[in-house]
Amino acid sequence: MSVYQTISVDLGDRSYPIVIGRGFMDGNFNLADYVHGPDCLIVSNETVAPLYLDKLRPNLADRDITSISLADGESFKTLATMQTILDKLVTSGANRDTTIIALGGGVVGDIAGFAAACYMRGVAFVQVPTTLLAQVDSSVGGKTGVNHEKGKNLIGAFHQPQVVLIDTDTLDTLPAREFRAGLAEVIKYGAICDPAFFAWLESNMVALLEKDPEVLAHAIQRSCEIKAEVVAEDEREAGRRAILNFGHTFGHAIERCLGYGEWLHGEAVAAGMIMAAQLSGIAAADLSRLKELITAAGLPTEAPAIAGERWIEAMGMDKKALQKQLRFVLLRSLGEAYVSADYDRARLTALTGAPA
């Protein structure tokens, strides 16, 4: 086993490590140290469970393990699905010292984390993300929740995990489309606050797509470092943390309008980042670099055809909106993001077809 890095998310008494490495499965990491009671429930899905559930068990020593496997896909990120987790906890007699372990991608992590936040008003929670998107983004920061038919992640809670355990070997079984979707969030970090990382991605995208171990480890490490630093500064998104949603106002609208799962989250965010950059009015050279990097990652740079009124309706439920006013994450330049309700209405009309 080779550990690349342990990164701390500094939140006082809720601080926790992000452990990034290879070969953690099959008993090579003592996850039991983060399961303080005798019982744990592993939440996975029908795709990931056959691959990694039995491999994870030896890491939990003598803990009493139960498991549940959810249907796979964004369309199942619902209250009804979360209810099945709560039912499993109740029927298994889970107490307050039970730990919920999320083994899977972002959907599994978000639903399992929300169940952990709600069950008996909060039980311990561990993240074992198996997709690139979950490893670099959704597993870190404590955002949990489910979708509503009127908007993405509208129902949820902040609930920080005990540890995030990232085994990059799990990416070997990740389909190419899912891997590329995860790269959207990696690109996002460079675009919002680290121009040097953005330039590094430009030079290393081919190696990333080939899953070169050292290049991949650095991309995950730097993404987690940025996320950890921003979350430590603004845990509940009262200020700076909102910049992590660059491209997401448009991206979430795409997901909702097409139907959850038609476009993967990262695909929608990729197109959304281009729209947000265009709305920002950044220099043509910066916009061109962003488009070229997203294209190199095999991701879309143009949104699907959506009627203007549907754009506005979908974006109206964006969680950054205040006093019924849309707020966007915009760029001053590559590497410098900010949140504002002061955007060019004419540009938004040109992008969406909706009246300003």
- The set of catalytic residues is 121, 143, 185, 227, 237, 241, 245, 248, 252, 265
d(CA 109, CA 45) in angstroms, rounded, equals: 10
Determine which helix (DSSP H) or strand (DSSP E) holds 153, and give its type and residue range.
strand 151-158
Kindly state the helix (H) or strand (E) to which residue 64 belongs, with its residue range. Answer: strand 64-70
Q: How far is CA 176 from the centre of its chain?
A: 17
Whole-Å CA distances, 244 to 177, 222, 327 = 22, 14, 13
What contacts 305, CB < 8 A, 6 or more positions away?
Answer: none
Distances 95 to 13, 122, 124 between C-alpha atoms, Å: 22, 11, 11
Q: In 34-65, which positions are buried (b, 16+ CB within 10 angstroms) versus exposed (e)? A: bbeeebbbbbbbebbbebbbebbbebbeebee
Distance CA(50)–CA(44), nearest Å, equals: 9
- For tokens 């399992």, name the residue: 112
Cα separation, 343 vs 170, whole angstroms: 41
Q: State the Cα–Cα distance between residues 122 and 79, nearest whole angstrom.
A: 17
State the Cα–Cα distance between residues 40 and 95, nearest whole angstrom: 10
- In the chain, the largest separation of any two C-alpha atoms, in whole Å, equals 62
Residue with tokens 């491999």, as numbered in its chain: 55
